[in-house]
Amino acid sequence: MGFLTDRASITGITKSNIFHIVDINDTSQGNPDGSSYKGSVDQLILLLNTEFVKLTGDTMTGPLSVTSLTANTSTIGTLNVTGQTNTNVLSASTAHTETLVINNAPSTNITDNSVLVRNSSTGTVEEKDLSHYNFGFFVQTGDSATVVNTTSEISILDGGLGSLTVPPNGFKVGDSFHVKIGGIVSALNGATLTFQVKSGTAVLGTDSITFTNGVTSRAWEFKCDFTIRSIGSITIASILSNGTFSYGVGSDIYGAGFNTLNNTTFNTTILNTLDFTVQWGAASASNSIYSTMCILTKLY
């Protein structure tokens, strides 16, 4: 074996090349400082692969120990880890992948009517209140107060399950709803009744019906469909409403209705609560009406 040269680096090395190794823990050759052996480059590579993390493409192999990893923002592409892993703490306020962004995670538990959804335009995952997306919006569970012997405009709805309210900026263009209200009416011959359906203070539709024949404890029904055409403040937002009020006498059905576009007083940037009011043309103990049901559903 020749002497070592002062060549700066070796050339033409392969995995089968031999180099000199001293095992300081092996004294089998009689030297307390260790034993001398020959080793190959291939053996060294095998040792390094078992002791250190190896990254090939998008795959990480080898022992990986992360005792604590905390960051306000962490960016992760595609990470595959095989072999020994030990991760005690991994936390981040915001995590990014190639296609998904989680931003502004709620600091408290999400409410019953909220979920995390992905914004298709920005890729951001956001908390979304789905109260107004509930197809079963509201159901009345009792009779309303009777509107009788008065000419005041009075709401004819009563309490129940769900909500008749949409929060500010809760509407989307195309949102469509259906409401069905029914109850019992009595009226003198020739009595008039004006009915209005409202969203907040905005009148969505109104009409009057005249009872050409007196009725006593007859069933009545109001049905109406709504579609949001545009959103925004007054004169920008618009809603189309189509409703009918009807009652039966024997086999005959009488009624009135409307088809109304409100693009002047409707406002989606504020709280909107659906209401249905009635108003008699003349006060009489024989003119009375109340509701026994109200069901509000979302169609689209």
Task: Give the per-residue pLDDT at 32.
Answer: 78
CA gap 126, 110 in Å, rounded:
11
**Closest residue by Cα to residue 220 from 190, 186, 189:** 186
For 191-205, the pLDDT digits (tens) are 999 999 999 899 999
Is the CB of residue 261 less than 8 Å from the CB of residue 240?
A: yes
Q: Check residues 213 and 180 and name the one with the higher pLDDT.
A: 180
For 36-81, the pLDDT digits (tens) are 778 777 776 777 666 666 667 666 666 655 555 555 555 555 444 4
Task: Give the per-residue pLDDT at 234.
Answer: 95
For 107-147, the pLDDT digits (tens) are 555 555 566 777 777 777 777 766 555 567 899 999 999 99
23 CB-side CA count, 13 A? 11
Which DSSP category does 48 fall into? H
Q: Is the pLDDT score of 152 beyond 70? A: yes
Q: Average pLDDT of 239-261?
A: 92
pLDDT bin (cut points 50, 70, 90) of residue 99 is: low
Lowest-pLDDT choice from 74-83, 190-199, 211-220, 281-290: 74-83
**Six-digit token string for 265:** 């007083």
Lowest-pLDDT choice from 63-67, 253-257, 292-296: 63-67
Q: Check residues 100 and 119 and name the one with the higher pLDDT.
A: 119
Residue 177 CB burial class (10 angstroms; 0-12, 13-18, ≥19): buried
What CATH fold (topology level) applies to the domain 136-298? Jelly Rolls (2.60.120)
Task: Give the per-residue pLDDT at 81.
Answer: 47
Assign 201 to helix, strand or coil: coil
Buried b / exposed e over 59-80, threshold 16 CB at 10 Å, is ebbbeeeeeeeeeeeeeeeeee
Q: Is the pLDDT score of 90 beyond 60? A: no
Q: Average pLDDT of 28-33?
A: 78
Residue 252 CB burial class (10 angstroms; 0-12, 13-18, ≥19): exposed
Q: Is the pLDDT score of 85 beyond 60? A: no
Average pLDDT, the chain: 80
Task: Give the per-residue pLDDT at 122.
Answer: 77
- Residue ranges of domains in the chain: 18-51, 136-298
pLDDT bin (cut points 50, 70, 90) of residue 1 is: very low
